[in-house]
Amino acid sequence: MANQQLFNTLLAPLPTSNAVNQAQAPAYAYTPKHKLAQLAMTGCLNQTYYADAQAQLADVLALVQELDADYVAKTAVYCRERGLMKDMPALLTALLAAQRAPQLPAVFARVINNGKMLRNFVQILRSGVTGRKSLGSRPKKLVQAWLNTASEQQLLQAAVGNAPSLADVVKMVHPKPAEAWREAFFAWLIGKPYQADKLPPATRSLLAYRAGELTELPTVPFQLLSNEALTAAEWAVLAQRMGWQALRMNLNTLARQGAFALPGVPEQVAARLADPAAVAKARVYPYQLLAAYRMAGDDVPAVVRNALQDALDLSLVNVPKLEGQVVICPDVSGSMSSPVTGVRQGASTKVRCIDVAALVSAAILRTHPDARVLPFEVKVVELALNPRDSVMTNAQKLAAIGGGGTACSAPLAKLVAEGAKVDVVILVSDNESWVDASRRGATETMKQWTLLKQRNPQARLVCIDLQPYGTTQAVERADILNVGGFGDAVFDVMAQFAAGSFGAGHWVEAIEATAL
């Protein structure tokens, strides 16, 4: 009988790998459109486990040159509005400005929607990475228009931060305001003489408070007061005033300043954090709540930390119900220890790729008690999880495994060996499989998936890629979805793909359907 490993009719038509991943093992390259989509939805332009920030930037620059401006423009809008990204949409907008693309005004209006994004846009253009170091006449007019139409609160919020500061931006573009209050505000901002009685009310209150002429805290972004000698009671007031996201990020500050020592303050903060309407309005990522929980120091009261867990459960309310037998396969190998948004000196997140993989797995297990969880590195790691435990508890159990090489095919091979019945398999990884590498032909992941499909012809595979490396272990086709990202939208995409509503190229399809 002929060698069945060589002449298996099931495996014969599999696509040959056409790239190598960052671990120099066989992989499949994304199309240029999909690669830009993946970078846009997951790339934070910081160093990751396998690739540095400069490599990511070089990829984006090359892709923008290759792709048409309309697709780039839609990608910028999509990753800002749906992906809630910051640096990447600002970079794409700056590249459109450097190309003098006609789509720039429409994209600028939707991407540059607050002061931080405005400063990001200016910083990127002035850096020279787009091929120019000046803003240019049209970008300058767009920045002027933003400055001349922003509210006082938007301008004060934009005044938080440096490199460049809002004052730097004003000096660059020389806005010509029509209102007297705006003219006085800009003059004060850049240190020129101004008419104090023309300043808008909140700015007047801020200056009066700084001068000791006002005892009541002004209604301004709390960061503008953080250098003042505030009392614990005043910090408690700020805890009620600051936005939900700012509150989540400043729990240790409130503890350090003594606010939580005051009666009722911990309960008030906890109530805000766990308010369903506030969580929904903040559009918070689950991993951001995981980060807040992990970063909360011992001085943050238990009632506040518990509220973060409640908020995490609320943020997962949109996890959809998947039909049939669901298997979740989180990658727990060594490379998954990389910060999910990359390494940035002094500002790296404490949330690692393994934490996000564990969080996705625990969230799906919570809504699918019968689902199987198969964590893997070189092989599948046996771990018993209770679906009734909190998402945080199960996520911490999974994330505690960690280490070893990567074989993305391992959980699929286990299912094949068992003759398991599956309907949806979800692989959460950085796709840097190398232990199971072969010299030629298809990747081992594709081989094992094809064998699994023999018993389960209706099964679908969802590969959630947590790092923007540009390759995958499973080539896109009708039953395989490669999705880059770790936000709420991923859950909806999974459900619609599993139900047959979306094709394999969802991100590209969704971006191309974006109206400018």
User: What is residue 44's predicted lDDT score, i.e. its pLDDT?
Assistant: 64
CB contact at 8 A, 354 and 336: yes
pLDDT digits (tens, 9 = 90+) for 224-252: 987 788 999 999 999 999 999 999 999 99
**Tokens for 424?**
């949806």
Taking Cα atoms as reference points, which of 192, 74, 119, 498 lies closest to residue 328?
Answer: 498
Residues of the chain with pLDDT under 70: 1-12, 43-52, 318, 341-350, 485-489, 492, 501-506
Are the beta carbons of 474 and 19 closer than 8 angstroms?
A: no
Domain 320-512 has CATH 3.40.50.410: yes
511: Cβ–Cβ under 8 A, 6 or more apart, which residues?
33, 37, 71, 74, 75, 78
Instruction: Report the distance separating Cα 438 and Cα 442, nearest Å.
Output: 8
| Domain limits, the chain | 320-512
Quote the CA–CA distance of 350 and 289 in Å, as a whole number. Answer: 11
Phi, psi (rounded to 5 degrees) for 414: -65, -45
Query: By three-state DSSP, how is residue 313 classified?
Result: helix
d(CA 229, CA 214): 14
26-29/471-472 β-pairing: antiparallel
The CA-based dihedral angle spanning residues 80, 82, 85, 91, taken in that order and rounded to the nearest 10 degrees? -30
The reported pLDDT for the residue numbered 343 is 57
Strand 19-20 with 26-29, pairing:
antiparallel
3-state secondary structure of 154: helix
User: What is the reported pLDDT for 470?
Assistant: 80
CA distance 199 to 222: 19
